[in-house]
Amino acid sequence: MLVHPMSVAESCLQRNAWICPEYVTTRQDLLLDALGQHLLLTFSAVALGLLVALPVGVLASRSTAVETVASGVATVLYTIPSLAMFPLLLALGLSFGPGVVVVGLAIYSLGILLRNIVVGLQGVPDDTLDAATGMGLSPRRTLWSVELPLALPAILAGVRIATVSTVALVTVGGLFGFGGLGNRIILGLNSRFNAEVLTATVMVVVLALVLDGVLLLAERRLTPWVRGRTA
């Protein structure tokens, strides 16, 4: 269980203040540790989701039946309430720990990632594929050298959306002690320390905005032809 440390901003706690600079300055280590865990959980979940969604998306882009089944399963999994997802994973045999949170978050990211991968691959022009075949490229070589690069803008857009949504969902893991900044939010709520709740919440929002901006810049850098075509 999470135990709240001895308050170093008793005046803020007594006033039940929402803004407490003393809390931020004296608990920087705790906040940075929570931020680091939040980032690790986010990146691990999105990476795991992408690792599963990419091969499934490739198959779904080539088969209507696979696309229907995969999209249906991803949609059903996405509708499971986040508060129920982690207990369900524990009931299925996963050991208690951060891995449960990562798997649960990866499941939520599947729907977003899978949809964008399929849309990106299906948007590759047929004449481009015909040209690749005419050049003697094998299906595997065509996938890696032609289809995935052309589908990259849609895939990266999906990664951006999945990352931002995962940053918010990580906080739910705080109910189990593995929620990064969500841990601080839960502790603040339990102790009625408004400053801790507000500080951690603002950090989550800022983190989501920063990651969205970084991924947007990376997307533009990796797909310069999209900017040129738009211009």
pLDDT of 3 reads 43
- pLDDT band per the 50, 70, 90 thresholds, residue 10: low
How sure is the predictor about 57, in pLDDT bands with cuts at 50, 70 and 90?
very high
Q: What's the pLDDT tens digit per position in 100-151?
A: 889 999 999 998 999 999 999 998 888 888 888 888 888 888 888 888 888 9
According to the model, what pLDDT value does residue 229 have?
Answer: 55
pLDDT in tens, 156-203: 999 999 999 999 989 888 888 788 898 888 888 887 777 888 888 999
Q: Is the dihedral of CA 84, 103, 62, 65 positive or negative?
A: negative
Q: What's the pTM value of the predicted model, to 2 decimals?
A: 0.85
Per-residue pLDDT, 12: 63
Q: Which CATH class is domain 32-224?
A: mainly alpha
Q: What are the residue ranges spanned by the domains of the chain?
A: 32-224
